[in-house]
Amino acid sequence: MQEERRLAVLRAIVEDYVATEEPVGSKALVERHGLGVSPATVRNDMAALEDEGYITQPHTSAGRVPTDKGYRLFVDRLTTVKPMSAAERRAVSTFLDGAVDLDDVVQRSVRVLSQLTRQVAVVQYPTLSRSTVRHVELVALAPRRLLAVLILSTGRVEQRIVELGADLSDEALADLRSRVNSVAAGEIISTAVTALRALAAEPPTADLAAYVGPVVEALAEAMSDHRSDERIAVGGAANLARYGDSFDSAVRPLLEALEEHVVLLKLLGEATTGGMVTVRIGAEGPYEQLASTSVVATGYGPTNDALATLGVVGPTRMDYPGTMTAVRAVARYVSRILDED
Protein backbone atom coordinates (compact mmCIF):
# COMPACT_ATOMS: atom_id res chain seq x y z
CA MET A 1 0.00 0.00 0.00
CA GLN A 2 2.22 2.77 -1.19
CA GLU A 3 -0.75 5.08 -1.32
CA GLU A 4 -1.01 4.95 2.42
CA ARG A 5 2.64 5.64 2.93
CA ARG A 6 2.51 8.56 0.58
CA LEU A 7 -0.08 10.18 2.74
CA ALA A 8 2.05 9.46 5.77
CA VAL A 9 4.90 11.20 4.00
CA LEU A 10 2.73 14.19 3.23
CA ARG A 11 1.60 14.38 6.82
CA ALA A 12 5.17 14.17 8.00
CA ILE A 13 6.22 16.92 5.62
CA VAL A 14 3.46 19.21 6.80
CA GLU A 15 4.21 18.57 10.44
CA ASP A 16 7.92 19.06 10.06
CA TYR A 17 7.58 22.14 7.95
CA VAL A 18 5.19 23.72 10.40
CA ALA A 19 7.54 22.93 13.24
CA THR A 20 10.83 23.94 11.66
CA GLU A 21 9.78 26.55 9.16
CA GLU A 22 12.28 25.06 6.73
CA PRO A 23 11.90 22.95 3.61
CA VAL A 24 12.13 19.33 4.65
CA GLY A 25 14.34 16.80 2.93
CA SER A 26 14.04 13.07 2.58
CA LYS A 27 16.75 12.20 5.03
CA ALA A 28 15.54 14.34 7.89
CA LEU A 29 12.09 12.91 7.33
CA VAL A 30 12.94 9.26 7.88
CA GLU A 31 14.97 10.18 10.91
CA ARG A 32 12.44 12.27 12.71
CA HIS A 33 9.45 10.12 11.93
CA GLY A 34 9.41 6.39 12.33
CA LEU A 35 8.66 5.51 8.72
CA GLY A 36 10.47 2.25 8.26
CA VAL A 37 11.80 2.94 4.79
CA SER A 38 14.89 4.45 3.25
CA PRO A 39 15.33 8.01 2.11
CA ALA A 40 15.35 6.88 -1.50
CA THR A 41 11.87 5.44 -1.15
CA VAL A 42 10.67 8.65 0.40
CA ARG A 43 12.20 10.55 -2.48
CA ASN A 44 10.15 8.53 -4.90
CA ASP A 45 7.01 9.27 -2.95
CA MET A 46 7.91 12.90 -2.81
CA ALA A 47 8.35 13.04 -6.54
CA ALA A 48 4.89 11.55 -6.93
CA LEU A 49 3.38 13.97 -4.44
CA GLU A 50 4.99 16.80 -6.29
CA ASP A 51 3.56 15.61 -9.59
CA GLU A 52 0.13 15.65 -8.05
CA GLY A 53 0.67 19.16 -6.77
CA TYR A 54 0.70 18.58 -3.05
CA ILE A 55 4.21 19.81 -2.45
CA THR A 56 6.86 21.87 -4.21
CA GLN A 57 10.47 22.71 -3.85
CA PRO A 58 11.35 26.37 -3.49
CA HIS A 59 14.25 25.64 -5.82
CA THR A 60 16.00 22.63 -7.21
CA SER A 61 17.89 20.71 -4.62
CA ALA A 62 16.10 22.03 -1.64
CA GLY A 63 13.65 20.21 0.57
CA ARG A 64 9.92 20.15 -0.09
CA VAL A 65 7.24 22.51 1.12
CA PRO A 66 3.50 21.83 1.16
CA THR A 67 1.33 23.68 -1.32
CA ASP A 68 -2.10 25.01 -0.50
CA LYS A 69 -3.45 21.84 -2.01
CA GLY A 70 -1.21 19.83 0.25
CA TYR A 71 -2.42 21.62 3.34
CA ARG A 72 -5.95 21.11 2.16
CA LEU A 73 -5.51 17.36 1.91
CA PHE A 74 -3.79 17.36 5.26
CA VAL A 75 -6.62 19.20 6.91
CA ASP A 76 -9.33 17.16 5.23
CA ARG A 77 -7.98 13.70 5.64
CA LEU A 78 -4.87 13.55 7.75
CA THR A 79 -5.84 15.52 10.80
CA THR A 80 -6.61 13.68 13.97
CA VAL A 81 -8.53 15.69 16.51
CA LYS A 82 -6.06 16.79 19.10
CA PRO A 83 -7.62 17.20 22.53
CA MET A 84 -6.61 20.17 24.60
CA SER A 85 -4.58 19.61 27.68
CA ALA A 86 -6.40 19.78 30.97
CA ALA A 87 -4.40 22.86 31.89
CA GLU A 88 -5.51 24.62 28.73
CA ARG A 89 -9.13 23.74 29.33
CA ARG A 90 -8.91 25.10 32.80
CA ALA A 91 -7.21 28.25 31.62
CA VAL A 92 -9.92 28.90 29.06
CA SER A 93 -12.80 28.31 31.39
CA THR A 94 -11.49 30.25 34.34
CA PHE A 95 -10.44 33.12 32.15
CA LEU A 96 -13.76 33.36 30.37
CA ASP A 97 -15.80 32.82 33.50
CA GLY A 98 -14.45 36.05 34.90
CA ALA A 99 -16.23 38.11 32.28
CA VAL A 100 -18.70 40.67 33.57
CA ASP A 101 -20.59 41.67 30.44
CA LEU A 102 -20.85 41.03 26.75
CA ASP A 103 -18.03 43.36 25.87
CA ASP A 104 -15.86 41.66 28.37
CA VAL A 105 -16.71 38.22 27.07
CA VAL A 106 -15.64 39.22 23.60
CA GLN A 107 -12.45 40.87 24.78
CA ARG A 108 -11.47 37.92 26.85
CA SER A 109 -12.25 35.48 24.08
CA VAL A 110 -9.99 37.30 21.70
CA ARG A 111 -7.27 37.30 24.25
CA VAL A 112 -7.46 33.68 25.22
CA LEU A 113 -7.76 32.57 21.63
CA SER A 114 -4.73 34.49 20.52
CA GLN A 115 -2.68 33.20 23.41
CA LEU A 116 -3.77 29.65 22.84
CA THR A 117 -2.92 29.68 19.16
CA ARG A 118 -0.14 32.24 19.25
CA GLN A 119 -1.84 33.74 16.28
CA VAL A 120 -4.04 36.72 15.48
CA ALA A 121 -7.53 36.10 16.85
CA VAL A 122 -10.72 37.69 15.60
CA VAL A 123 -14.10 37.62 17.32
CA GLN A 124 -17.23 39.08 15.82
CA TYR A 125 -19.80 40.52 18.19
CA PRO A 126 -23.07 38.63 18.18
CA THR A 127 -25.25 39.73 15.32
CA LEU A 128 -28.37 41.61 16.05
CA SER A 129 -30.40 39.96 13.36
CA ARG A 130 -31.07 36.68 15.10
CA SER A 131 -31.57 37.99 18.58
CA THR A 132 -34.82 38.94 20.22
CA VAL A 133 -35.86 42.10 22.02
CA ARG A 134 -35.79 41.64 25.74
CA HIS A 135 -36.91 45.07 26.75
CA VAL A 136 -37.12 48.65 25.61
CA GLU A 137 -36.64 51.44 28.09
CA LEU A 138 -37.44 55.09 27.46
CA VAL A 139 -35.91 57.68 29.71
CA ALA A 140 -36.71 61.37 29.67
CA LEU A 141 -33.60 63.47 29.58
CA ALA A 142 -35.20 66.81 28.90
CA PRO A 143 -38.68 67.93 27.91
CA ARG A 144 -37.98 67.31 24.27
CA ARG A 145 -35.28 64.74 24.43
CA LEU A 146 -35.29 61.16 25.55
CA LEU A 147 -32.97 58.22 25.64
CA ALA A 148 -34.12 54.96 24.15
CA VAL A 149 -32.37 51.90 25.52
CA LEU A 150 -32.72 48.64 23.66
CA ILE A 151 -31.88 45.44 25.50
CA LEU A 152 -31.44 42.33 23.42
CA SER A 153 -31.45 38.68 24.33
CA THR A 154 -27.74 38.37 23.70
CA GLY A 155 -27.10 40.86 26.46
CA ARG A 156 -26.22 43.57 24.05
CA VAL A 157 -27.51 47.01 24.88
CA GLU A 158 -27.95 49.74 22.31
CA GLN A 159 -28.96 53.25 23.12
CA ARG A 160 -30.09 56.20 21.05
CA ILE A 161 -30.89 59.75 21.90
CA VAL A 162 -34.16 60.92 20.38
CA GLU A 163 -35.12 64.50 19.75
CA LEU A 164 -38.85 65.16 19.92
CA GLY A 165 -40.97 67.72 18.15
CA ALA A 166 -43.04 68.56 21.20
CA ASP A 167 -42.82 68.43 24.97
CA LEU A 168 -43.48 65.06 26.46
CA SER A 169 -45.59 64.39 29.49
CA ASP A 170 -44.81 61.66 31.97
CA GLU A 171 -48.07 59.92 31.25
CA ALA A 172 -47.49 59.91 27.54
CA LEU A 173 -44.03 58.53 28.11
CA ALA A 174 -45.30 55.70 30.29
CA ASP A 175 -47.99 54.95 27.75
CA LEU A 176 -45.53 54.91 24.92
CA ARG A 177 -43.16 52.72 26.85
CA SER A 178 -45.75 50.08 27.60
CA ARG A 179 -47.10 50.09 24.07
CA VAL A 180 -43.67 49.76 22.53
CA ASN A 181 -42.78 46.90 24.83
CA SER A 182 -46.02 45.09 24.28
CA VAL A 183 -45.47 44.93 20.53
CA ALA A 184 -41.70 44.45 20.53
CA ALA A 185 -40.66 42.55 23.63
CA GLY A 186 -39.89 38.92 23.02
CA GLU A 187 -39.97 39.31 19.26
CA ILE A 188 -37.12 38.66 16.91
CA ILE A 189 -35.54 41.80 15.51
CA SER A 190 -37.11 41.74 12.11
CA THR A 191 -40.58 41.11 13.49
CA ALA A 192 -40.14 43.80 16.09
CA VAL A 193 -39.19 46.36 13.46
CA THR A 194 -42.28 45.60 11.43
CA ALA A 195 -44.54 45.75 14.46
CA LEU A 196 -43.05 49.05 15.58
CA ARG A 197 -43.45 50.59 12.17
CA ALA A 198 -47.08 49.53 12.19
CA LEU A 199 -47.50 51.21 15.56
CA ALA A 200 -46.00 54.41 14.24
CA ALA A 201 -48.19 54.37 11.16
CA GLU A 202 -51.39 54.32 13.19
CA PRO A 203 -50.84 56.10 16.48
CA PRO A 204 -53.30 54.62 18.96
CA THR A 205 -53.96 57.93 20.69
CA ALA A 206 -53.71 61.46 19.45
CA ASP A 207 -51.37 62.23 22.29
CA LEU A 208 -48.75 59.89 21.01
CA ALA A 209 -48.84 60.96 17.42
CA ALA A 210 -46.12 63.53 17.95
CA TYR A 211 -43.68 61.20 19.65
CA VAL A 212 -44.11 57.75 18.35
CA GLY A 213 -42.54 58.49 14.98
CA PRO A 214 -39.06 59.60 16.07
CA VAL A 215 -38.88 57.01 18.83
CA VAL A 216 -39.80 54.15 16.56
CA GLU A 217 -37.40 55.35 13.93
CA ALA A 218 -34.55 55.48 16.42
CA LEU A 219 -35.35 52.00 17.65
CA ALA A 220 -35.70 50.57 14.19
CA GLU A 221 -32.45 52.15 13.23
CA ALA A 222 -30.72 50.71 16.27
CA MET A 223 -32.11 47.29 15.48
CA SER A 224 -31.11 47.21 11.89
CA ASP A 225 -27.88 49.02 12.41
CA HIS A 226 -25.47 47.17 10.24
CA ARG A 227 -22.60 49.00 11.75
CA SER A 228 -23.00 46.92 14.86
CA ASP A 229 -23.06 43.76 12.78
CA GLU A 230 -19.62 44.72 11.75
CA ARG A 231 -18.23 45.10 15.21
CA ILE A 232 -15.21 43.00 15.69
CA ALA A 233 -12.48 42.52 18.25
CA VAL A 234 -8.96 41.71 17.21
CA GLY A 235 -6.13 40.52 19.38
CA GLY A 236 -2.70 39.03 19.29
CA ALA A 237 -1.30 41.24 16.56
CA ALA A 238 2.02 41.00 18.35
CA ASN A 239 2.17 37.43 17.16
CA LEU A 240 2.69 38.79 13.69
CA ALA A 241 6.15 39.77 14.79
CA ARG A 242 7.08 36.13 14.71
CA TYR A 243 6.72 36.05 10.97
CA GLY A 244 10.14 37.55 10.68
CA ASP A 245 10.74 36.85 7.03
CA SER A 246 8.23 37.55 4.31
CA PHE A 247 7.33 40.80 5.93
CA ASP A 248 6.09 42.80 3.00
CA SER A 249 4.40 39.91 1.34
CA ALA A 250 2.50 38.65 4.36
CA VAL A 251 2.45 40.91 7.37
CA ARG A 252 1.74 44.24 5.77
CA PRO A 253 -1.43 43.27 3.94
CA LEU A 254 -2.61 41.38 6.99
CA LEU A 255 -2.06 44.34 9.28
CA GLU A 256 -4.04 46.43 6.86
CA ALA A 257 -6.80 43.89 6.74
CA LEU A 258 -7.03 43.83 10.51
CA GLU A 259 -8.09 47.44 10.51
CA GLU A 260 -10.67 47.01 7.83
CA HIS A 261 -13.42 45.29 9.68
CA VAL A 262 -15.43 44.75 6.58
CA VAL A 263 -12.56 42.91 5.00
CA LEU A 264 -12.05 40.84 8.12
CA LEU A 265 -15.68 39.85 8.21
CA LYS A 266 -15.57 38.69 4.65
CA LEU A 267 -12.44 36.81 5.48
CA LEU A 268 -14.03 35.01 8.40
CA GLY A 269 -16.82 33.96 6.11
CA GLU A 270 -20.18 32.46 6.93
CA ALA A 271 -20.72 31.25 10.43
CA THR A 272 -20.91 27.50 10.67
CA THR A 273 -22.81 25.66 13.35
CA GLY A 274 -22.49 22.51 15.34
CA GLY A 275 -18.82 22.43 16.13
CA MET A 276 -17.84 22.55 12.46
CA VAL A 277 -14.68 24.51 11.93
CA THR A 278 -14.06 26.14 8.59
CA VAL A 279 -10.53 26.21 7.30
CA ARG A 280 -9.64 28.44 4.40
CA ILE A 281 -6.16 28.02 3.12
CA GLY A 282 -4.14 30.69 1.37
CA ALA A 283 -5.41 31.50 -2.08
CA GLU A 284 -8.75 29.84 -1.36
CA GLY A 285 -9.69 33.09 0.34
CA PRO A 286 -11.25 36.10 -1.36
CA TYR A 287 -8.25 38.39 -1.28
CA GLU A 288 -5.26 38.06 -3.51
CA GLN A 289 -3.04 39.97 -1.19
CA LEU A 290 -3.70 37.50 1.54
CA ALA A 291 -2.72 34.52 -0.55
CA SER A 292 -0.32 33.30 2.09
CA THR A 293 -2.63 33.57 5.05
CA SER A 294 -5.13 31.01 6.26
CA VAL A 295 -8.28 31.41 8.28
CA VAL A 296 -9.63 28.97 10.82
CA ALA A 297 -13.08 29.97 11.98
CA THR A 298 -16.37 28.75 13.35
CA GLY A 299 -19.71 30.12 14.39
CA TYR A 300 -20.77 30.51 17.97
CA GLY A 301 -23.85 31.47 19.87
CA PRO A 302 -26.34 30.23 22.39
CA THR A 303 -27.89 26.86 21.62
CA ASN A 304 -25.48 26.40 18.77
CA ASP A 305 -27.55 28.70 16.63
CA ALA A 306 -24.65 30.59 15.15
CA LEU A 307 -24.92 34.25 16.00
CA ALA A 308 -21.51 35.28 14.95
CA THR A 309 -18.12 34.06 13.92
CA LEU A 310 -14.84 33.76 15.71
CA GLY A 311 -11.52 32.51 14.54
CA VAL A 312 -7.88 32.87 13.87
CA VAL A 313 -5.89 34.35 11.01
CA GLY A 314 -2.37 33.25 10.35
CA PRO A 315 0.19 32.09 7.85
CA THR A 316 -0.65 29.12 5.66
CA ARG A 317 2.13 27.43 7.51
CA MET A 318 0.27 26.98 10.76
CA ASP A 319 -0.52 24.20 13.17
CA TYR A 320 -3.96 23.38 11.81
CA PRO A 321 -4.94 20.62 14.23
CA GLY A 322 -3.98 22.63 17.28
CA THR A 323 -5.58 25.79 15.97
CA MET A 324 -8.78 24.00 15.06
CA THR A 325 -9.24 22.50 18.48
CA ALA A 326 -8.49 25.81 20.15
CA VAL A 327 -11.03 27.61 17.98
CA ARG A 328 -13.61 24.93 18.57
CA ALA A 329 -13.05 24.95 22.31
CA VAL A 330 -13.26 28.71 22.69
CA ALA A 331 -16.40 28.81 20.58
CA ARG A 332 -17.98 26.20 22.79
CA TYR A 333 -17.12 27.99 25.99
CA VAL A 334 -18.30 31.32 24.72
CA SER A 335 -21.55 29.79 23.53
CA ARG A 336 -22.12 28.28 26.92
CA ILE A 337 -21.48 31.56 28.68
CA LEU A 338 -23.84 33.43 26.40
CA ASP A 339 -26.45 30.80 27.07
CA GLU A 340 -26.30 31.37 30.77
CA ASP A 341 -27.34 34.96 31.07
Q: Which residues bind DNA (CB under 7 A)?
A: 2, 5, 23-28, 36-41, 43-44, 46-47, 50, 57, 59-64
* Binding partner selected for residue 232 from a second copy, DNA, none, CB under the kind-specific 5 to 8 Å limit: none
**Distances 259 to 198, 235, 253, 292, 294 between C-alpha atoms, Å:** 39, 11, 10, 18, 17
Beta strand 308-315 pairing with 157-163: unpaired
Q: How many CB atoms within 10 Å of residue 278? A: 18
Q: Does 141 bind a second copy (CB under 8 A)?
A: yes
Provide CB contacts within 8 A for 251, sequence distance 6+.
240, 243
Under the binding rule (CB under 8 A), the answer on residue 339 touching a second copy is no
Number of residues that bind a second copy (CB under 8 A): 32
Strand, coil or helix: 8? helix
Q: For the chain, where are the alpha helices, taking DSSP H only?
A: 2-20, 26-32, 39-51, 68-73, 86-97, 102-117, 170-184, 189-201, 209-223, 226-229, 252-259, 261-268, 320-340
Q: Which residues inside 104-123 make contact with a second copy, applying CB under 8 A?
A: 104
Interacting residue with a second copy among 151, 164, 172, 173 (CB under 8 A): 151
- Does residue 291 bind a second copy (CB under 8 A)? no
Contacting residue, 20, 129, 159, 190, with a second copy by CB under 8 A: 159
Q: Does 133 bind a second copy (CB under 8 A)?
A: no
DSSP per position, 246-280: SIIIIIHHHHHHHH-HHHHHHHH-S---TT--EEE
Position 341 contacts a second copy (CB under 8 A) = yes
Task: Please provide the size of the chain in residues.
Answer: 341
| Contact of 327 with 298, CB cutoff 8 Å | yes
70 touches a second copy (CB under 8 A): no
**What does 166 interact with, of a second copy, DNA, none (CB < 5 to 8 A by kind)?**
none
Longest dimension (CA), the chain: 91
Amino acid in position 192? A
Q: How far is the CB of 4 from DNA (least distance, A)?
A: 10
Q: Which does 47 bind (CB under 5 to 8 A by kind): a second copy, DNA, none?
A: DNA
Q: Which of 170, 202, 248, 270 binds a second copy (CB under 8 A)?
A: 248
Residue 184 found at the interface with a second copy (CB under 8 A): no
Residue 248 interacting entry, from a second copy, DNA, none, C-beta within 5 to 8 Å by type: a second copy
User: Which lies closer to DNA via its Cβ, residue 17 or residue 74?
Assistant: 17
**Tally of CA atoms within 13 A in the half-sphere of 9 that contains its CB:** 31
Nearest approach, Cβ of residue 252 and a second copy (Å): 4
Residues that bind a second copy (CB under 8 A): 100-101, 104, 134-135, 137, 139, 141, 147, 149, 151, 157, 159-161, 227, 235-238, 240-241, 244, 247-248, 251-252, 255-256, 258-259, 341
